[in-house]
Structure 1
Amino acid sequence: MSRSILRATVLAALPLLACASAASAHATLETKQAPADSYHKAVLRVPHGCEGSPTLKVRIQVPDGVSGVKPQPKPEWVLQTTIGKLATPYDDGHGKMITEGVTEVSWTGRLLDEHYDEFVMRVKLPNKPGEKLYFKAIQECEKGVHRWIEIPAAGKSGDDYKEPAPQLTLTPKQ
């Protein structure tokens, strides 16, 4: 193959590769696995806005069984936590049953579409090795919204969905 044909082929493929990359740019967790019954730094990565529109708010729903939620503040963003009744109460380790806790964390600010950012919270994971936890996230933009809330059906994976919920698999405690 001549160099000019090869060059033309590569140049023609670049826009397709860029589109494929943008299409697969989902909100994800930095770490895909963590030990059960451990403290974990959950980092939600937001790679873009909504079709060119800046992100104004990011909300993360705390999965059932996750406790001790401590979100990390971000400069120039307003941090809020929602306290609610827990679906599954738990013992705090000192004989007290905890029935309420953080059910959602939100950050309100401004993230341009061409920028990337991370939203962090420290959590205590449940002692359920093998379980998959889904950190459903809503990304509200100036124009539009991404609802990263789709949970895979049996036999499917997040790759089968347009807006999959960020997933964390619990591994055996080490």
Structure 2
Amino acid sequence: MRTTASLAIAAVAGTALALSAPLAAQAHVSASASSTAAGSYTVLTVSVPHGCEGSPTQVVTIDLPESVPSVTPTVNPSWSVETVAEGDTMTQVVYTSLTGGLADGLRDTFELSFRLPEGAPGDRVEFPVTQTCTEGTAEWVGEDVPLVVLTEAVADGHGHGGDDETDAHGGDEASASGDSAGGTGSAAQVDLVARVLGIVGLIVGAVGIALAVLARRPAAQA
């Protein structure tokens, strides 16, 4: 009995640890990118899932690395946004709450559009974040810093032929449209094959029923 109880307790404890690990990871301010290819255009999404020990978040300051001299912040209707620059180089993007603060336990996101630097796969592009709350602050740096890990450069992601970011995004959109069209064509082909197989199945079923009926008739007459 003791052995069974011990095993049950161990199983419960293991389950609790397994569940608490992802929850702890989600508690950090984190970042995800639409593209991680070196030299490509990307949209970085910084996620803030909580306040400072229960206190609402009032300001989110995102520091930009030297390798990213300029970004285009996305408007968030619940926050004002301003950029801080030294000369022609942006150094920070600052979001300030317009609603009295982001309550602890609620999540919001902040997006920045920019071009990733050239680099080798595995290079880190870090975006330190300072979370200022009604009471207290939290600095997400060091091991907890939001970041992008570069992957291998893709030629189509460089926007060759011009330095205009809009042109590069336009190319991406055209590519996306082409992918969408290709996906539609593939879907149509799959649908056609499914219909043909369905018709064949109906024919085979009808033939089978006819053969079964014919096979029963002599037995019935006998």
TM-score, length of structure 1 as denominator length: 0.72
Which structure is higher in helix share? 2
Residue number in structure 2 paired with 1:149: 141
Residue number in structure 2 paired with 1:92: none
Question: Is the 2:32–2:148 contact (alpha carbons within 8 Å) kept by the matching residues of 1?
Answer: no
Residue number in structure 2 paired with 1:122: 113
How many residue pairs were aligned? Answer: 145
Residue number in structure 2 paired with 1:104: 92
Question: Is the 1:71–1:105 contact (alpha carbons within 8 Å) kept by the matching residues of 2?
Answer: yes
Distance 1:17 1:35, change over 3 A: closer
Residue number in structure 2 paired with 1:171: 151
Residue number in structure 2 paired with 1:140: 132
Which amino acid counterpart does residue 140 of structure 2 have in structure 1?
W
Shift in Å, 1:70? 0.2
Q: Percent identity?
A: 31
Cα distance in 1, alignment partners of residues 116 and 38 from structure 2: 6
Q: Which has the larger radius of gyration?
A: 2
- Structure 2 portions without partners, runs of 5+: 155-222
SS at match of 1:111: coil
Shift in Å, 1:103? 1.0
Cα distance in 2, alignment partners of residues 107 and 149 from structure 1: 18
Residue number in structure 1 paired with 2:219: none
Residue number in structure 1 paired with 2:37: 35
The alignment's C-alpha RMSD in Å is 2.7
Cα distance in 2, alignment partners of residues 103 and 119 from structure 1: 16
Which amino acid counterpart does residue 119 of structure 2 have in structure 1?
K
Question: Is the 1:35–1:129 contact (alpha carbons within 8 Å) kept by the matching residues of 2?
Answer: no
TM-score, length of structure 2 as denominator length: 0.57
